[in-house]
């Protein structure tokens, strides 16, 4: 613990510095608001830390099309609820996610539902490419 505490203080300072002159911190998509396979002091703590650092910098926080499910650990529920309460805007990828987060006490009644930003993108909206019918596989990084 005595080693971890100074490191964590440095992480808070880094987050605060990183958000200097930033107008909005956006958390997007995925199932980030569930505790499957993680402890409360993993991702949920990080989400709250960055949300608090953003608020201290007077930077808006937005959760866009986030997914969530049951949160079993009481500390996870508190961390996620606290982070969501700091957001200027929240939307969820599906009704199930919104209902799960409402069940932990986050008031989601006015929050819209929009599909996950990455997985709902229609390939038909992509511009035509002269290379579209090529047989080689390409991986973009």
**138 falls within a domain:** no
**121 falls within a domain:** yes
Q: How confident is the model at residue 126 (pLDDT cuts 50, 70, 90)?
A: low
pLDDT of residue 116: 76
Instruction: Give the containing element (helix H, strand E) for 28.
Output: strand 24-28
| Residue 101 belongs to domain spanning | 4-125
**Residue 61: pLDDT over 90:** yes
Query: In whole numbers, what is the pLDDT of the chain averaged over residues?
Result: 89
**28 falls within a domain:** yes
pLDDT of residue 90: 97
Domains contained in the chain, number: 1
Closest CA to 53 of 5, 20, 81, 29: 20
Q: List, in sequence order, every residue forming a beta bridge with 68; answer none if it has no partner.
A: 33
**131 falls within a domain:** no
**Eight-class DSSP state of 129:** -
**83 falls within a domain:** yes
């Amino acid at each position: 613990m005595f080693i971890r505490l100074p490191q964590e203080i440095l992480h808070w300072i880094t987050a605060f510095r990183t958000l200097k002159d930033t107008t909005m911190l956006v958390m997007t998509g995925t199932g980030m608001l569930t505790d499957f396979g993680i402890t409360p002091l993993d991702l949920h703590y990080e989400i709250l830390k960055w949300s608090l650092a953003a608020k201290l910098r007077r930077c808006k926080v937005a959760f866009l099309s986030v997914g969530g499910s049951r949160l079993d650990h009481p500390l996870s529920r508190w961390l996620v609820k606290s982070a969501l309460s700091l957001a200027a805007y929240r939307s969820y990828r599906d009704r199930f996610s919104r209902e799960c987060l409402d069940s932990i006490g986050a008031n989601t009644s006015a929050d819209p539902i929009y599909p996950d930003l990455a997985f709902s993108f229609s390939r038909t909206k992509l511009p035509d490419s002269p290379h579209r019918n090529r047989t080689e596989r390409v991986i973009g990084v």
